[in-house]
Amino acid sequence: MTRPYVVTNVTIIDAVRMISKGFVKVKDKKIVAVGEGEPQAEYGWERIDGQKKILMPGLVNTHGHTPMTLLRGISDDLPLERWLNEKIWPAEAALDDESAAAGTALAIVEMIRSGTTCFADMYHLNREGAAALTEESGMKASLSRGMIAFGSKKEQQEKLKTAIDYAKSCQSSASGRLRGAVFPHAPYTCPLEFLRETKAKAEEAALPLQIHIAETRKEVKEHETKHGLPPVAHLLEEGILTKGSLAVHAVHINHSELTGLKDNGVHVSHNPQSNLKLGSGIAPLPQLLNHHIPVSLGTDSAASNNTLDVFDEMRQAAMVHKGLEEEANATDAQTILEMATVNGANALGFSNAGFIEEGYDADFIFINSDQAHMIPRINHGTLVYSATGRDVTDVFVEGKPLMRDGRLLTVDEEKIRHEAMAASEKLADDH
Amino acid sequence: MTRPYVVTNVTIIDAVRMISKGFVKVKDKKIVAVGEGEPQAEYGWERIDGQKKILMPGLVNTHGHTPMTLLRGISDDLPLERWLNEKIWPAEAALDDESAAAGTALAIVEMIRSGTTCFADMYHLNREGAAALTEESGMKASLSRGMIAFGSKKEQQEKLKTAIDYAKSCQSSASGRLRGAVFPHAPYTCPLEFLRETKAKAEEAALPLQIHIAETRKEVKEHETKHGLPPVAHLLEEGILTKGSLAVHAVHINHSELTGLKDNGVHVSHNPQSNLKLGSGIAPLPQLLNHHIPVSLGTDSAASNNTLDVFDEMRQAAMVHKGLEEEANATDAQTILEMATVNGANALGFSNAGFIEEGYDADFIFINSDQAHMIPRINHGTLVYSATGRDVTDVFVEGKPLMRDGRLLTVDEEKIRHEAMAASEKLADDH
């Protein structure tokens, strides 16, 4: 689809507006016009009929571990320690590059199907493969080689070098659709000295830092005991969390940490379903938003969710605080949609995506709104309170179709599902 | 499909078991055999291939207002008082029997599509029509004519008589698939004297009582001020909530009320999404379950949800308490599935549904498990944490197919969607 095209007769919704019947023109990877009613005819342009569809920005998933898609459903309803010790770590130990690749491919299928156009992926296996597969799939991604730094100084140095090199290679991808990030796993799995060094190297290479932080109450307590400060405050003070860094989870944070995150321009990846399912807690989303901290949404891995559907994250993010605070307006659909689209794109370094607006990358999806659970009226709430990933029919990234009418165009779905099943059967702990 | 049939090669999951590859035999509206592996051949039986499907009990939705499906999305993110005063009540005032019928029909389409086989429906309009349409659709339901008793004594008497007559007529439906219930709206909309009389008449007619109760903190506080007891304790003491009654919401209840509900055999309809979305609060589900109170799940109306998908209720019911209590095992998938199936059936007076077991009514659905977001492993968690109503392909009630391969067989979906859109456009407040 190298010809320019125009989507007509379509309902257009992004975080800031809604057009009940309009058009979107796409040329050279970009949205070149958006309007109400009928577009002017242009010679040689293809037409796509968007009737009974909603056209919205592609969703952005700012936290995940794609190889772990293979561990979906391996362990539900277990306390975190048992979940890790008895199920996840033994299963992860059995993963290798090949099975990790099968998990990443499965994740990519699921993400495209559910309307995600851009994602973050941190893991330690099959990194080159993940980059190649993402390029091939047509998606956008911020990729990182995760680092747990329990080893010797020498091992730490090697890990860091490999991680930096990998992130650099992603930054200079052929397609321009990849970004690289530096991801030390967490303050409790990386010594402070290692975090400092990681930050220095990341800055040197102009790479953003991402880190799991303040996920559980236990982590925060132990960090305070050891360092005299809770982890977010500590890493802010250390200059490890700075402008453009991504703090993942940030469930247990205090008021001064909220101010610190805001003042330092740190992004937060809010992972409501994973935080609930693992019993980690509930991040203070309304407070994060009141502090104007740029919050985006992440699914975390399918092992703690159990899907990669950002629509589910939107609904959960919107729902839980209304009940908790006993205020139906504790959250609103437009803000939630902003988190799942433009905030996500910004958090991952894609400053030109997330709106349906002239000059933005043509990253958008279609929702089939001609279904019983969507009618009789369409608005921002439809996307947050009624839609799921299973309502997505078409996905475009930089104008290129990755899915049309429910059919994946850039990856071999059947083969990928088959390989995921086979890889899962080989995992020793899956019995 | 009056011939007996057998579903083969299917994964069978209900609240108490899972068979990875088995069969279910259906004859004369009943499940007559369930087993592992291949069934013995029987002459004249039809075969349905269940490969790559999960066969599970049909879901039961124990609370809703089907005509309000027409109000889906009319108002999101507004505080309860403004939601009611500015949006819902004016829109409801504009509803009539005809538009209510359009809403009920739309609800039935959505419910069948999302795997619900049995539902509760309380409203004050188009009751005969709702009964007729339910019969026609092939679904099971507990129907009631809701009563708000602000009027004169005479008006109250008339309302009560009409409601009792309606419930009786449902109890004696031709198909046997309907039940009737008596539904005084709430303690704050019905004087105590009216509730007493309603209960007396309901007992006389052997009809169960359902009531919205303890939905908001405000309601509970005002009830205590007026009557010296919180509403659940009060209605237990009054003998208005008794064995087989259905307390809807029960969000704000204290410890002695938990014991009272248990001791008196009262069912609870838990409506997690509606309670969250309206800012009502979060019902103490783990405590209800610890007290062995029979809890089932309800969507409430689409105006406060915004879908009628019981899969969404399952996931929400399972998720929120894990995070709140910071315990990943605060809930578990099997218990949640029990709530959505057998507990729901019992709550609505269908004692012979909710399990995939010999002798039970053949009320079951198929889930397409051959999808990226469901693999690589299937278990109870798949139904609670991965599946949505959009994954349902087939629905059977008493052995009769209501949906096959995504096609509705008993209702005219296109016509119903069209009529819902038209009815919605006529609502004055929809602008």
DSSP string of B254-320, one letter each residue: -HHHHHHHHHTT-EEEE-HHHHHHTT-----HHHHHHTT--EEE----GGGTS---HHHHHHHHHHH
Q: Specify whether A252 is located in the same domain as A396.
A: no
* Whether the predicted pLDDT of A118 surpasses 50: yes
Domain end position, chosen among A329, A347, A365:
A347
Grouping H, G, I as helix, E, B as strand and the rest as coil, residue A408 is strand
Domain extent, residue B40, equals 1-431
> Same domain, yes or no, for A330 and A374?
no
Instruction: Determine the pLDDT at residue B431.
Output: 43
Q: Which pLDDT value is given to residue A158?
A: 97
Q: Are residues A201 and A235 in the same domain?
A: yes
Position A424 in a domain: no
Cβ–Cβ below 8 Å for A330 and B378: no
**Cβ pair A306:B385 closer than 8 A:** yes
DSSP B240: -
Note whether residue A418 is domain-resident: no
Domain harbouring A18, CATH code:
2.30.40.10
The verdict on A359 and A342 lying in the same domain is no
Amino acid A1: pLDDT: 55
Q: Which residues of chain B lie closer than 8 angstroms to A272, CB-CB?
A: 323
A108, exposed or middle or buried, with CB in 10 Å at 0-12, 13-18, 19+?
buried
Of A73, A312, A384, the CB nearest to B382: A73
β-pairing, A18-27 with A5-13? antiparallel
- For β-strands B116-123 and B140-145, DSSP reports them as parallel
Q: Which of A4, A29, A34, A32 is nearest to A16 (CA)?
A: A34
- Shared domain for A311 and A383, answered yes or no, is no
The answer to the question of whether A300 is labelled as a binding residue is: yes
Distance from CA of B162 to the nearest CA of A (A): 31
CB spacing of B77 vs A376 below 8 angstroms: no
Looking at chain A, which residue has its C-alpha nearest residue B68? A376
Does A364 reside within a domain? yes
A430 within domain boundaries: no
Min Cα distance A150 → chain B (Å) is 27
Across chain A, how many H-helices and E-strands are there? 16, 17
Q: What is the pLDDT of residues B345-361, one digit of tens each?
A: 999 999 999 999 999 99
Q: Which of A208, A214, A152 is nearest to A186 (CA)?
A: A214
If asked whether residues A53 and A65 sit together in one domain, one would say: no
| Residue A427 reports pLDDT greater than 60 | yes
Copy the structure tokens of residue B264: 């008196």
Question: A341 φ, ψ to 5°?
Answer: -125, -85
Percent of chain A with pLDDT over 70: 99
Q: How far apart are CA A6 and CA A35, in angstroms?
A: 11
Average pLDDT rounded to a whole number, residues A358-372: 98
Statement to judge: residues A393 and A258 lie in one domain: no
* Closest chain A C-alpha to B374 CA, distance in angstroms: 8
Is a pLDDT exceeding 90 seen at residue A42? no
On whether both A99 and A110 belong to a single domain, the answer is yes
Domain count for chain A: 2
Question: Which of A347, A366, A400 finishes a domain?
Answer: A347
> Mind listing the pLDDT tens digit for each residue in B38-62?
998 889 999 999 999 999 999 999 9
Known binding residue B418? Answer is no
pLDDT tens-place string over residues A216-228: 999 999 999 999 9
pLDDT of residue B430: 46
What letter would DSSP give residue A360?
S
Are A100 and A237 members of one domain?
yes
Residues B229-238 have a mean pLDDT of: 98
Residue B13's Cβ-count burial label (10 Å; 0-12, 13-18, 19+) is buried
Phi, psi at B114, each rounded to 5°: -100, 15
Q: In this structure, is residue A215 part of a structural domain?
A: yes
Can you give the pLDDT at residue B85?
A: 87
Out of A300, A323, A347, a domain closes at A347
The confidence band for B428, taking pLDDT boundaries of 50, 70 and 90, is low
Same-domain pairing of A313 and A379: no
Q: Residue with structure tokens 């019981």? A: B310
Average pLDDT over residues B68-85: 89
ipTM given for this complex: 0.96
Closest to A163 measured CA to CA, from A185, A192, A139, A191: A185
CA A355 to chain centre: 16
- Coil, strand, or helix at residue A292? coil
| Partner residue facing A281 (CB), from B216, B319, B323 | B323
Please check whether residues A279 and A380 belong to one and the same domain. Answer: no
pLDDT(B1) > 60: no
What are the helix (H) ranges across A342-410?
344-347, 380-381
Residue A420 lies in a domain: no
Contacts of B323 in chain A (CB under 8 A): 272, 275-277, 279-282, 320
Whether A99 maps to a domain, the answer reads: yes
Distance of CA B98 to the CA centre of its chain: 23
- Residue A249 in marked binding region: no
Within-domain flag for A421: no
What is the CATH number for B239? 3.20.20.140
Which among B74, B376, B421 has CB closest to A420?
A: B376
Please tell me the predicted confidence (pLDDT) of residue A428.
60
| Domain shared by A120 and A190, yes or no | yes
pLDDT (tens digit, 9 = 90+) per residue, B123-166? 999 999 999 999 999 999 999 999 999 999 999 999 999 999 99
Nearest-CA neighbor of B73 among A334, A322, A386?
A386
* C-beta of residue A340 within 8 angstroms of C-beta of residue A27: no
- Spatial separation of the C-alpha atoms in residues B274 and B279, rounded to whole Å: 8
How confident is the prediction for chain B on average, in pLDDT?
Answer: 96
CB A115 within 8 A of CB A137: no
Please answer yes or no on whether B381 and A332 come within 8 Å at the CB atom.
Answer: no
